[in-house]
Amino acid sequence: MLKEILKILESDARTTPRQIATMTGSTVEEVNRLISEAEKGRIILKYKTAVNWDSVEDEQVWALIEVKVKPEPEAGFDSIAGRIAQYEQVRSLYLASGTYDLLLVVMGKTERVVADFVAQNLAHIEGVQGTVTHFVLKRYKEDGEILEGVEGVKRQQVVL
The amino acid occupying position 38 is A
CB 107 within 8 A of CB 64: no
Whole-structure pTM value: 0.75
Q: CATH 3.30.1360.170: does it fit domain 55-138? A: no
Instruction: Summarize pLDDT for 13-72 with one digit per residue, the tens.
Output: 999 999 999 999 999 999 999 999 999 999 999 898 877 776 776 778 999 999 999 998
Neighbouring C-beta atoms of residue 123, cutoff 10 Å? 13
CB 118 within 8 A of CB 131: yes
Domain boundaries, the chain: 2-40, 55-138
Measured between alpha carbons, how far is 25 from 5 in angstroms, rounded to an integer? 11
Instruction: Summarize pLDDT for 115-141 with one digit per residue, the tens.
Output: 999 999 999 999 999 999 999 998 888
CB 115 within 8 A of CB 73: no
